[in-house]
Amino acid sequence: MIIVDFLFFGLIQSLIYALYSLGYSLVYGVGRILNLAQGAFYLLASYIFYWIWSTLTPNLGDTAFLLGMGIAIVFIIIIGMLTYLLLIKPLHENEVSVMIGTFALAFFAEQLVGVLFEPETKHISTIWDMSFNFFDVTIQLHQIILIVSSIVIISLVMLFISKSKLGKAVRAVSQDREAASLMGINVDRIVMYTVMISAFLAGLAAILYTPLDRVAPYLGWVVLTDSIAIVILGGMGSLKGSLIGAFILGYVRIFTAYFLNPVISTLMPIIVLIIILIIRPRGLFGKKEID
């Protein structure tokens, strides 16, 4: 049934959008940082995963797949930390400099993987390839794992931000950096943690989705464009808005792919971005700026 197909694959697309847009929104909400390297985190995680998998599979078999996932996540968290310490922190006084610096990192990442791995599109074969039919829709075990893992991680991140001591510090910094600093909160460390969480979420999206999709140097820009569209749609810095925006854009994109034209589907993030900027620049749940 095409409706079940639409609902199922729309859910997958929406959850992947939610993973990497949540991180982007969190970094902006806490540090007022427009991190244009968000797509680079996804890109680098996917290539680290691919490299480990392709190198070790002849000797380790399916274990290489799991090792690739784990190592990619660890490395991308470290890359997120280094991005903050070596690039964002020294430039944080100037928002334009941060944008230029993170854009340069994204461009460097694209060129680096193109040189190291050749620009051709590559694929990772999942070890969870068992499938079954549900209302005439073929569902793969990997897709179920992706859905469950994404829901669990997104729920844990939201609980962490709302309930944990560190999460409360994150919210305090997002509301007023100066007041948070006066209360004894290490603002720089909190912002660094949010960048690391953002890198983790982008990396998780990469290792879950690339076995169902592809590995290619240009994907970082696709992820960045999608993230910006979702965050602006939901409202800059609003985690709830980013979640809702991810589901709106995810289902809009799958709808256009299924019922209209797949070519139009690829343009939907840009179309949605332009429309929301014209109609409601602060997004669905964004707060009006007070001078």
Q: Does 134 reside within a domain? A: yes
Note the pLDDT of residue 36: 92
Note the pLDDT of residue 95: 84
Q: Does 6 reside within a domain? A: no
Q: Does 69 reside within a domain? A: yes
Q: How far is CA 218 from CA 67, 93, 177, 279, in A?
A: 25, 30, 35, 30
63: pLDDT confidence band, cut at 50, 70 and 90?
very high
Note the pLDDT of residue 290: 37
8: pLDDT confidence band, cut at 50, 70 and 90?
very high
8 Å CB contact between 131 and 139:
yes
The one-letter code for the residue type at 112 is: L
Split into its structural domains, the chain has a count of 1
Q: Does 245 reside within a domain? A: no
118: pLDDT confidence band, cut at 50, 70 and 90?
confident
Note the pLDDT of residue 243: 93
8 Å CB contact between 190 and 173:
yes
199-218 average pLDDT score: 95
53: pLDDT confidence band, cut at 50, 70 and 90?
very high
Which DSSP category does 211 fall into? Answer: G
Q: How far apart are CA 5 and CA 258, in angstroms?
A: 9
Enumerate the β-bridge partners of residue 132.
Answer: 139
DSSP E strands, the chain? 131-134, 137-140
287: pLDDT confidence band, cut at 50, 70 and 90?
low
Residue (of 238, 249, 216) closest to 42 by Cα position: 216
Average pLDDT, the chain: 89
47: pLDDT confidence band, cut at 50, 70 and 90?
very high
**Residue 258 CB-density burial (10 A; 0-12 exposed, 13-18 middle, 19+ buried):** middle
Q: Does 78 reside within a domain? A: yes
Q: How far apart are CA 176 and CA 137, in angstroms?
A: 49
In the predicted model, is pLDDT for residue 291 greater than 60? no
204-219 average pLDDT score: 94
Q: Does 74 reside within a domain? A: yes
Q: Does 87 reside within a domain? A: yes
Q: Which helix (H) or strand (E) holds 69?
A: helix 62-83
Q: How far apart are CA 24 and CA 230, in angstroms?
A: 10
- Report pLDDT digits (tens) over 226-273: 999 898 888 887 888 899 999 999 999 999 988 888 778 888 888 888
Residue (of 214, 197, 195) closest to 206 by Cα position: 214
Q: Read off the pTM.
A: 0.93
Note the pLDDT of residue 288: 54
Looking at mean pLDDT, say which of 99-113, 125-139, 246-260 comes out highest.
99-113
Structural domain harbouring 139: 16-218
Which DSSP category does 246 fall into? Answer: H
Q: How far apart are CA 230 and CA 127, in angstroms?
A: 31
Q: Does 155 reside within a domain? A: yes
**Residue 255 CB-density burial (10 A; 0-12 exposed, 13-18 middle, 19+ buried):** middle
